[in-house]
Structure 1
Amino acid sequence: MSRKGVVILGSSRSNGNTHTIVSQLQQKTGFDMIDLQQYKINHFDYELKNEDDFNALFKKLTANYETFVFATPIYWYTMSGVMKVFFDRISDFLFDEKDIGRRLRGTKMGVISCGSDNEIKAGFEMPFVESAQYLGMEYVGHIHTWIENKKITPTVQQSITDFANQLMEK
């Protein structure tokens, strides 16, 4: 497995503020980026009858990366809908093809949120922390970011740099 990481962008706007933040992280880490908007991913189905892009995407991700950074704008105080659907679909590999789901064990998970300002409500991080624990992943943290006047502030830039360094640690 590659030691490389991937940023999974879960935004309704492929080139919005969250993408701007992700681009900065990519420059500092060399991580690849997957834009979930570019894939057809249906909601979870208990009968596992989805015919979409999720299974092939998840197999590719788990075969090639050991650090996963989930980047999401904050919509209604939580992760975006497309990101939530992605997390729900991980269940496909907890019911069927469990060996694929188990590839997440021992990998790293980080989170970037992007909001309209520097405020973030308590509890935002909990679904990520608990999912990492449940999946056997090492949770390496979360940074909250925002854009002011269409620019990344020095404070946010420093957070991105610090987070990139943390992600690159062995």
Structure 2
Amino acid sequence: MKNTVIIQASSKSKGNTHKVINYLNNNQGFDVIDLKTKNIGFFEYDFSNAHDDFIPLMEEIISKYETIVFATPVYWYSMSATLKIFFDRLSDLLHYKKELGRQLRGKNMAMISNSGENDLRNGFEMPFRESAKYLGMNYLGDVHTWFTKDGNEIHPDAKVKINEFRNIFAAKNFKDVLTL
């Protein structure tokens, strides 16, 4: 059974984020979930979205996977709105689905982002790193990728970074990776 899932969080299912995921997942070692195919509403304090796809999706993720990799384009210097909604909904796991949320403890999180150029601003990874810490998850790391000038291909230098990032998941002992 595959123990890593990539959560694709782009407004375009077959866009650049998908290209990056396909390159990262060249050996098909990871499952991929496209959030665009899910009906996940905004966080509501009254939990009025409790019957959308979020809780069943989290039950599946928590039961099947030890590592979650978030894949997002950079939109206006931040994660995609699709992923921000998903992150906001993690609050459901801190309120009315606490037992489910507690099962995230000890699992692993990583992030891969992409944009047209190698222009990621400092601090982009902070919401991922801090969310992992808050949820009791191990943050394995992150990588930013970009595309060639024509926008059609992953930049060769970014491919090197993806290959290095892929090595994190090949490690037998994530504790060794965490000290990098």
Query: Quick one: percent identity of the two aligned structures?
Result: 46
**1:1-170, aligned counterparts within 5 Å?**
4-28=3-27, 30-50=29-49, 51-148=51-148, 149=150, 150-169=152-171, 170=173
Alpha-carbon contact 1:3-1:67 (below 8 Å) kept: no
| Residue 154 of structure 1, CA deviation | 2.0
Root-mean-square deviation (Å): 1.2
Question: What CA distance in whole angstroms lies between the structure 2 residues aligned with 1:138 and 1:75?
Answer: 26
| Residue 70 of structure 1, CA deviation | 0.3
* Greater relative CO, 1 or 2 (CA 8 Å, sep 6+): 1
Question: What CA distance in whole angstroms lies between the structure 2 residues aligned with 1:29 and 1:164?
Answer: 12
Question: What CA distance in whole angstroms lies between the structure 1 residues aligned with 2:45 and 2:170?
Answer: 37
Question: What CA distance in whole angstroms lies between the structure 2 residues aligned with 1:143 and 1:123?
Answer: 12
SS in 2 for 1:27: coil
Alpha-carbon contact 1:104-1:136 (below 8 Å) kept: yes
Amino acid at match of 1:87: F
The alignment's TM-score, normalised by the length of structure 1, stands at: 0.95
Amino acid at match of 1:56: P
Amino acid at match of 2:19: T
Deviations 1:36-63 (A, max 9, x none): 0000000001111213111100110011
Question: What CA distance in whole angstroms lies between the structure 1 residues aligned with 2:92 and 2:20?
Answer: 30
| Residue 78 of structure 1, CA deviation | 0.3
Residue segments in structure 1 that go unaligned for 5+ positions in a row: none
Deviations 1:108-133 (A, max 9, x none): 11100101100111121111110000
SS in 2 for 1:109: strand
The alignment's TM-score, normalised by the length of structure 2, stands at: 0.90
Amino acid at match of 2:42: H
Counting matched residue pairs gives 169
Question: What CA distance in whole angstroms lies between the structure 2 residues aligned with 1:29 and 1:107?
Answer: 21
Residue segments in structure 2 that go unaligned for 5+ positions in a row: 174-180
Question: What CA distance in whole angstroms lies between the structure 2 residues aligned with 1:135 and 1:29?
Answer: 28
Alpha-carbon contact 1:28-1:161 (below 8 Å) kept: no
Deviations 1:50-83 (A, max 9, x none): 1311110011001100100000000010000000
